[in-house]
């Protein structure tokens, strides 16, 4: 049986393609996660997302989560920026001066629907802040909000402004600090992972957290008193970043596939879960005997006045940084989330 030249050529091309596919390099990225390995943010948030990445890239990109974090939460942005690991997450408020431009996402009297605020935060970044120098060495993969925070206390409800005098509260960022300072209490800066230790040793009397954190970090028994305010005392943002050089190793097609399951889609999914978990945590604590009350009008008014000052400070800072349209950034975000406007 004779074999024609075109058949030989076709067979050669086929074998070459098969060999290329078989030998294609799998790009492996490392991720550092600092929440406990049983925390839902990892088990139901980031871990499924890493599995999706392998799926949508057909195995060409794989994310390996390290068995333990390589350092404290506040340093995780720099771990990705410097390439010590490829992917990290964290909150901008752990480095408040460096990331002050993102402070507007966390102002009081916002919206408890974290799915809504998460997508709005991602859109605000894409529209106005994607070129900010703070992100020169990383690619932002997603940005989501934790849902509005309440005041949690070990001994009493903080129903009025006078209740805050002389009390010490753990806080994670400048907006929370502004609230605590403005109400006459003492702020203690610490990551949420330190809450249990600080409460056990009586270093703090209370903490500002979303409800899901109170349960998720197992401090609900130490904080049985909870005070709420319409729109929340504050909100909190979480970034998810990858080292830019690491991301550029990935083909444009696979980059696009990864961003389709990240970005607004992941923001909405994580925000939806935060809202649901905040509600479930609140209900669970009430069932277990926790006391939850709304702040009185005087306390709400005091927080409103504090917010006005926080806004003025942020607008001044943003304009000094070259964001001449800072009012538009803030008003667009507030409109998107239905936040209470300034009087």
pLDDT tens digits for range 104-142 = 999 999 999 999 999 999 999 999 999 999 999 999 999
Residue 8 near residue 63 (C-beta atoms within 8 A) = no
SS3 238: strand
For 159-179, the pLDDT digits (tens) are: 899 999 999 999 988 999 999
pLDDT above 70: residue 314? yes
Report the pLDDT value the prediction gives residue 193, as an integer from 0 to 100. Answer: 86
Flag whether pLDDT at 7 surpasses 50. no
Which residues are CB-neighbours of 26 under 8 A, at least 6 positions away?
59, 60, 61, 62
Q: What pLDDT, on a 0 to 100 scale, did the predictor assign at position 6?
A: 37
The model's pLDDT over 189-222, given as tens digits with 9 standing for 90+, comes to 888 889 999 999 999 999 999 999 999 889 999 9
DSSP 183: T
pLDDT of residue 24: 62
Torsion angle of C-alpha atoms 149, 161, 95, 204, degrees rounded to 10 = -90
Ordered by start, the domain boundaries in the chain are 150-234+278-337
Please state, as a whole number, how many other Cβ atoms lie within 10 Å of the Cβ of residue 229: 22
Neighbours of 197 (CB within 10 A): 12
Q: Give the least confident one: 17-21, 241-245, 291-295.
A: 17-21
* DSSP run (H or E) holding 180: helix 174-182
Q: Map 112-152 to HEC letters.
A: CCHHHHHHHHHHHHHHHHCCCHHHCCEEEEEEEECCCEEEE
- Residue 160: per-residue pLDDT: 92
**Which strand (E) or helix (H) includes residue 312?**
helix 297-320
pTM above 0.85, yes or no: yes
pLDDT tens, position by position, 11-57? 333 333 333 333 468 999 999 999 999 999 999 999 999 999 999 99
Whole-number pLDDT of residue 299: 96
The CA-to-CA distance between both ends of the chain, in Å, stands at 90
Give yes or no for a contact between 323 and 132, defined as CB atoms under 8 angstroms apart: no
pLDDT band at 94 (very low <50, low <70, confident <90, very high): confident
Average pLDDT, the chain: 91
pLDDT of amino acid 177: 95
Residue 9, pLDDT score: 37
Tell me the percentage of the chain whose pLDDT exceeds 70: 93
Strand pairing of 61-65 and 138-145? unpaired
Which CATH architecture best describes the domain 150-234+278-337? 3-Layer(aba) Sandwich (3.40)
From CA 53, how far away is CA 273, in angstroms rounded? 20
Q: Identify the pLDDT of residue 342.
A: 79
Residues 6+ apart with CB under 8 A from 191: 72, 73, 74, 94, 172
In this structure, are residues 186 and 251 in contact, taking their beta carbons and an 8 Å threshold? no
């Amino acid at each position: 049986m004779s074999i024609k030249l075109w058949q030989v050529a076709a067979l050669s091309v086929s074998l070459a393609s098969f060999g290329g596919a078989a030998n294609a390099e799998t790009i492996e990225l490392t991720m550092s996660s600092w929440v406990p390995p049983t925390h839902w943010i990892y088990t139901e948030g980031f871990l499924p997302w890493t599995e999706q990445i392998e799926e949508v890239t057909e195995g060409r990109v794989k994310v390996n989560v390290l068995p333990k974090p390589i350092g404290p939460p506040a340093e995780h942005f720099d771990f990705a920026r410097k390439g010590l690991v490829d992917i990290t997450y964290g909150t901008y408020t752990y480095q408040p001066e460096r990331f002050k431009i993102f402070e507007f996402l966390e102002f009081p009297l916002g919206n408890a629907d974290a799915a809504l605020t998460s997508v709005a935060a991602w859109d605000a970044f894409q529209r106005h802040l994607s070129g900010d120098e703070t992100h020169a060495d990383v690619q932002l993969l997603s940005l989501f909000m934790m849902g509005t925070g309440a005041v949690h206390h070990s001994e009493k409800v903080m129903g009025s402004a006078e209740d805050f005098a002389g009390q010490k509260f753990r806080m994670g960022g400048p907006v929370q600090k502004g609230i605590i300072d403005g109400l006459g209490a003492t702020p203690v800066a610490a990551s949420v992972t330190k809450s249990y230790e600080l409460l056990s040793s009586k270093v703090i009397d209370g903490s500002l957290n979303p409800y899901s954190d109170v349960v998720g970090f197992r401090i609900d028994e130490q904080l049985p008193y909870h005070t709420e305010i319409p729109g929340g005392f504050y909100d909190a943002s979480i970034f998810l970043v990858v080292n830019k050089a690491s991301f550029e190793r990935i083909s444009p097609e696979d980059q696009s596939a990864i961003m389709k399951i990240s970005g607004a889609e992941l923001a909405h999914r994580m925000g939806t879960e935060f809202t649901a978990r905040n509600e479930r945590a609140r209900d669970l604590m009430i069932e277990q005997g926790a006391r939850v009350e709304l702040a009185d009008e005087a306390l709400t008014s005091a927080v409103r006045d504090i917010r006005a000052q926080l806004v003025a400070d942020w607008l001044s800072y943003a304009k000094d940084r070259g964001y001449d349209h800072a009012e538009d950034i803030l008003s667009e975000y507030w409109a998107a989330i239905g936040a209470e406007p300034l009087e």
